[in-house]
């Protein structure tokens, strides 16, 4: 019987197109359930039998040393050789005798099901480095092995329940970037994300073809999650970008467009993939080293003595999402609120380590954006008929994480014994009322529960002047604990310790349209605040809430790196000019180290620079042209109805708002050839005041993610 190529039946592994048929395991069996006791038993048995037809056997290919002396790693190969009649399906094996050999089958289909490492106890006596054992399916072989009954049943079930099915096509193919279908999908994804990039981007309406809600967004996290993809290459890029956004909250579209541009330019230049990967990695190190320098021409120091630079950074993040649909006054108002909320979460008194507070965002639909506000403390939902009365500050409060609804299911796990004639409901209610008497005795004025409170207990507490808030939810537990210092009580069967109580300075009622909120004022300096966000409809409100949360995260990143990068595409054009100049002037030094010729190095560097310039051109969506000035390498936009000669009259500032247009300034269109030059620094007496800023930390990490992801995709296409 001839040997077949390995076939892997574990999900997600490659399935080479070696045959039209494959052995598929029944869904009710787990291969490891069979192999775990099987390999353990046969390893200790130490059998070494001859191969026969119709056998299910396991090979110990190699024994490897393990960390523990009493364990060993075994590389096992499970192979099932079936003599099948394809037209008749699976037939039961017939025993062979020496006097009457079996007839040759019509079709022999040997299959190697899987090769995998297995950790098994080391036998008592040392064995050879290469040992082999086989489990035969014939009675003669089983008589020699004498397996335990449960193993024999497992092997019999495994043997008889296998079946032949039509093999599904593989989702992984050799050289995926050579496939026109894959390249078209990558190009479509790039155009989709490019059109969502920047303040004037086009909105995206994403709808599943089998139904569901319509998602309207221009945010990378929402857009990528709403798009379903089946190809592994696209899933790899999508997962990499989403992971970056989850960590840094910004520059998701930047990383996506840059990564896809690098892959596309790598295909255009016609170089070997391994050369491009090495050059891309080298150029990335040049970019990050340049951005880390103190005299970098596209980096701006943030002055925390003034809030103006923070407001500019927040404004840049919020204005880049056109789905929010904000006017200039609304944009300025929300930007100031985002900075105010960020500053309120920074603690004033730092003892040993900094622990930032929390901002609770409450969306309110149907009101003007200008009605949005930020409050120190916490706003909670409360019944409309709440009566505060006269309360003396500070107020003692108690917080319960356990349900106080009085249900038996809420009493915890275990066995409950109820004597005959005992009313369990009344006993639980008595226990709840005893709890209410204790909090009244301890002068508690605010009673909060994460879950439900029994109506009788609520009525009893309110009649005695206690403010009752139920159904708080788990998301508000941590901010409330930080605000009040209370410790959540998880049971009602013990006395509440005095240390579990918290304090608030005062409470007040605030009305926002039809919603009534109770405002808990902190007793001391706290790092907890509440942002009330208002907008005209649900879609705009959801996008605004998400963008404000991202802006707060970006502002928090400035505490670690108190600097920002020039926005409006100026950082991208600056880096492109810098890399192009460094590559052409120092081409003789890196090319031998990278294992490529000078021509190959320059071609790969040009592909890298064109990808950077593509990011700047992606900011223009109204048929305008993108230019670079040949002095400072900043990005300029030429409207479609204005010629280059009238550029100085059409636009007075560059993309970031730092460089002004002048008579003798020279420009060149992006993604066209121009003489390399070193970007000149801006010599100004006063600090730079750009109108558009990008997060330094998020953009540097996005550069790294984009290049590493592109190299990974190119490496996959190289090695498959």
At residue 17, does pLDDT exceed 60? no
Q: 439 — alpha (psi -120 to 50), left (phi > 0) or beta?
A: alpha
8 A C-beta contact, residue 693 and residue 316: yes
**Spatial CA neighbour of 628 closest among 657, 595, 663, 668:** 668
Distance in angstroms (rounded) separating the CA atoms of residues 698 and 678: 25
Structure tokens at 406: 């009085």
User: According to the model, what pLDDT value does residue 439 have?
Assistant: 93
Q: 46 — alpha (psi -120 to 50), left (phi > 0) or beta?
A: left
| Helix residue ranges per DSSP H, 135-175 | 139-145, 149-160
The mean pLDDT of the chain is 77
Structure tokens at 420: 């005959």
112 cis-preceded (ω within 30 degrees of 0): no
Decide: residue 144, CB within 10 A, 0-12 exposed, 13-18 middle, 19+ buried: exposed
**Spatial CA neighbour of 393 closest among 286, 510, 504:** 504
Mean pLDDT, range 686-713, rounded to an integer: 93
pLDDT in tens, 96-142: 444 444 444 433 334 343 343 434 444 443 333 333 333 333 333 33
CB atoms within 10 A of CB 122: 18
State if pTM tops 0.75.
Answer: no
Q: Identify the CATH assignment for 378-412+422-525 out of 3.50.7.10, 3.40.50.261, 1.10.10.10, 3.40.50.2000.
A: 3.50.7.10
- Most confidently predicted of 153-157, 426-430, 659-663: 426-430
Strand partners, 627: 636, 669
At residue 211, does pLDDT exceed 90? no
User: According to the model, what pLDDT value does residue 590 have?
Assistant: 86
User: According to the model, what pLDDT value does residue 149 have?
Assistant: 55
Distance in angstroms (rounded) separating the CA atoms of residues 608 and 389: 68
User: Which of 82-91, 141-150, 585-594, 637-646 is predicted with the least confidence, judged by mean pLDDT?
Assistant: 82-91
Distance in angstroms (rounded) separating the CA atoms of residues 647 and 612: 23
Decide: residue 582, CB within 10 A, 0-12 exposed, 13-18 middle, 19+ buried: middle
Confidence of residue 535 (pLDDT cuts 50, 70, 90): very high
What is the domain partition of the chain in residue ranges?
Answer: 21-166, 303-374+531-561, 378-412+422-525, 566-697
pLDDT in tens, 243-274: 999 999 999 999 999 999 999 999 898 889 99
Distance in angstroms (rounded) separating the CA atoms of residues 325 and 410: 46
Confidence of residue 78 (pLDDT cuts 50, 70, 90): very low
Mean pLDDT, range 438-450, rounded to an integer: 93
**Spatial CA neighbour of 399 closest among 528, 529, 512, 520:** 520
Structure tokens at 505: 């300075």
**Spatial CA neighbour of 240 closest among 701, 717, 556, 718:** 701
- Using CA atoms, how far residue 366 sits from 213, 332, 363, 535, in Å, is 20, 20, 10, 6
User: According to the model, what pLDDT value does residue 303 have?
Assistant: 86
Mean pLDDT, range 392-420, rounded to an integer: 77
At residue 500, does pLDDT exceed 50? yes
Of the two residues 648 and 352, the one the predictor is more confident about is 352
User: According to the model, what pLDDT value does residue 685 have?
Assistant: 60
- Using CA atoms, how far residue 183 sits from 47, 186, 264, in Å, is 53, 5, 8
Q: Find the Cα–Cα–Cα–Cα dihedral 293, 295, 298, 304, rounded to 10°.
A: 90
* In the block, residue with structure tokens 């079996």: 102
User: According to the model, what pLDDT value does residue 580 have?
Assistant: 94
| Helix residue ranges per DSSP H, 46-147 | 139-145
Distance in angstroms (rounded) separating the CA atoms of residues 16 and 385: 70
Mean pLDDT, range 276-284, rounded to an integer: 95
Q: Report DSSP state, residue 670.
A: T
The number of residues in the chain equals 720
8 A C-beta contact, residue 681 and residue 297: yes
Distance in angstroms (rounded) separating the CA atoms of residues 242 and 696: 19
Containing 282, the helix (H) or strand (E) segment is: helix 273-292
User: According to the model, what pLDDT value does residue 399 have?
Assistant: 95
Strands (E), 233-307: 299-301
* In the block, residue with structure tokens 């040992």: 131
Q: Find the Cα–Cα–Cα–Cα dihedral 589, 590, 596, 599, rounded to 10°.
A: -70
User: According to the model, what pLDDT value does residue 27 have?
Assistant: 33
- What end-to-end distance do the CA atoms of the chain give, in Å? 30
User: Which of 163-167, 214-218, 243-247 is predicted with the least confidence, judged by mean pLDDT?
Assistant: 163-167
Distance in angstroms (rounded) separating the CA atoms of residues 275 and 271: 7
Strands (E), 595-645: 625-629, 635-638
Mean pLDDT, range 479-507, rounded to an integer: 90
Distance in angstroms (rounded) separating the CA atoms of residues 55 and 418: 60
**Spatial CA neighbour of 52 closest among 89, 81, 78, 77:** 81
In degrees and rounded to multiples of 5, residue 508 shows phi and psi of -145, 165
CB atoms within 10 A of CB 165: 9
The CATH architecture one would assign to domain 303-374+531-561 is 2-Layer Sandwich (3.30)
**Spatial CA neighbour of 532 closest among 317, 366, 690, 705:** 366
| Helix residue ranges per DSSP H, 297-358 | 308-319, 328-344
User: According to the model, what pLDDT value does residue 83 have?
Assistant: 36
8 A C-beta contact, residue 344 and residue 527: yes
């Amino acid at each position: 019987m001839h040997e077949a190529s390995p076939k892997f039946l574990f999900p997600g592994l490659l399935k080479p197109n070696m045959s039209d048929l494959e052995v598929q395991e029944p869904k009710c069996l787990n291969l490891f359930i069979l192999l775990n006791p099987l390999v353990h038993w046969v390893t200790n048995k130490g059998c070494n039998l001859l191969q026969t037809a119709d056998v299910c056997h396991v090979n110990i290919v190699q024994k490897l040393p393990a960390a523990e002396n009493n364990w060993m790693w075994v590389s096992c190969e499970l192979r099932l050789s079936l003599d099948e009649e394809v037209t008749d399906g699976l037939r039961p094996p017939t025993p062979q005798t020496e006097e009457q050999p079996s007839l040759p089958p019509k079709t022999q289909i040997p299959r190697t099901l899987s090769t995998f490492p297995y950790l098994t106890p080391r036998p008592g006596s040392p064995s050879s480095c290469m040992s082999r054992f086989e489990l035969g399916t014939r009675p003669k072989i089983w008589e020699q092995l004498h397996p335990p009954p449960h193993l024999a049943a497992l092997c019999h079930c495994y043997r008889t329940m296998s079946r032949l099915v039509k093999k599904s096509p593989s989702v992984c193919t050799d050289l995926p970037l050579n496939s026109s279908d894959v390249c078209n999908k990558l190009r479509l994804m790039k155009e989709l994300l490019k059109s969502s990039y920047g303040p004037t981007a086009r909105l995206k309406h994403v709808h599943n073809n089998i139904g569901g809600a319509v998602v309207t967004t221009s945010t990378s996290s929402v857009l990528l999650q709403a798009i379903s993809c089946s190809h592994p290459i696209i899933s790899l890029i999508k997962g990499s970008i989403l992971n970056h956004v989850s960590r840094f909250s910004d520059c998701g579209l930047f990383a996506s467009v840059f990564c896809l541009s690098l892959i596309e330019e790598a295909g255009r230049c016609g170089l070997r993939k391994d050369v491009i990967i090495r050059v891309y990695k080298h150029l990335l190190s040049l970019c990050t080293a340049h951005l880390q320098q103190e005299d970098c021409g596209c980096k701006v120091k943030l002055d925390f003595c003034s809030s103006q630079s923070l407001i500019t950074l927040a404004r840049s993040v919020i204005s880049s999402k056109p789905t929010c649909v904000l006017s200039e006054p609304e944009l300025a108002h929300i930007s100031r609120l985002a900075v105010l909320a960020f500053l309120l979460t920074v603690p004033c008194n730092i003892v040993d380590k900094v622990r930032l507070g929390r901002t609770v965002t409450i969306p309110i639909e149907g009101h003007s954006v200008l009605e949005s506000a930020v409050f120190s403390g916490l706003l909670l939902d409360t019944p409309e008929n709440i009566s505060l009365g006269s309360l003396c500050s500070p107020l003692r409060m108690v917080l319960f994480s356990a349900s106080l609804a009085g249900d038996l299911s809420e009493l915890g796990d275990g066995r409950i014994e109820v004597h005959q004639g005992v009313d369990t409901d009344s006993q639980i209610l008595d226990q709840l009322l005893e709890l209410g008497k204790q909090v009244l005795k301890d002068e508690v004025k605010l009673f909060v529960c994460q879950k439900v409170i029994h109506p009788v207990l609520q009525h009893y507490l309110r009649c005695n002047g206690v403010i009752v808030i139920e159904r708080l939810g788990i998301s508000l537990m941590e901010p409330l604990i930080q605000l009040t210092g209370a410790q959540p009580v998880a049971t009602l069967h013990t006395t509440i310790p005095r240390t579990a109580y918290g304090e608030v300075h005062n409470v007040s009622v605030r009305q926002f349209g039809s919603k009534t909120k109770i405002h808990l004022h902190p007793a001391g300096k706290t790092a907890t605040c509440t942002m009330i966000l208002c907008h005209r409809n649900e879609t705009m409100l959801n996008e605004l809430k998400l963008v404000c949360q991202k802006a707060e995260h970006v502002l928090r990143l400035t505490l670690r790196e108190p600097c920002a990068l020039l926005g409006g595409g100026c950082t991208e054009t600056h880096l492109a000019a810098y890399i192009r100049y460094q590559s052409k002037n120092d081409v003789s030094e890196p090319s031998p180290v990278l294992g490529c010729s000078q021509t190959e190095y320059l071609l790969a560097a040009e592909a890298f620079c064109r990808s950077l310039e593509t990011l700047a051109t992606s900011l223009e969506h109204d048929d305008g042209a993108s230019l670079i000035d040949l002095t400072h390498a900043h990005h300029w936009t030429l409207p479609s109805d204005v010629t280059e000669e009238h550029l100085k009259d059409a636009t007075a500032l560059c993309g970031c708002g730092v460089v002004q247009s002048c008579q003798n300034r020279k420009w060149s269109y992006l993604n066209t050839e121009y003489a390399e030059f070193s970007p000149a620094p801006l010599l100004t007496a006063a600090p730079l005041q750009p109108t558009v800023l990008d997060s330094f930390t998020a953009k540097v990490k996005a550069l790294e993610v984009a290049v590493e992801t592109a190299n990974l995709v190119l490496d996959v296409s190289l090695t498959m």
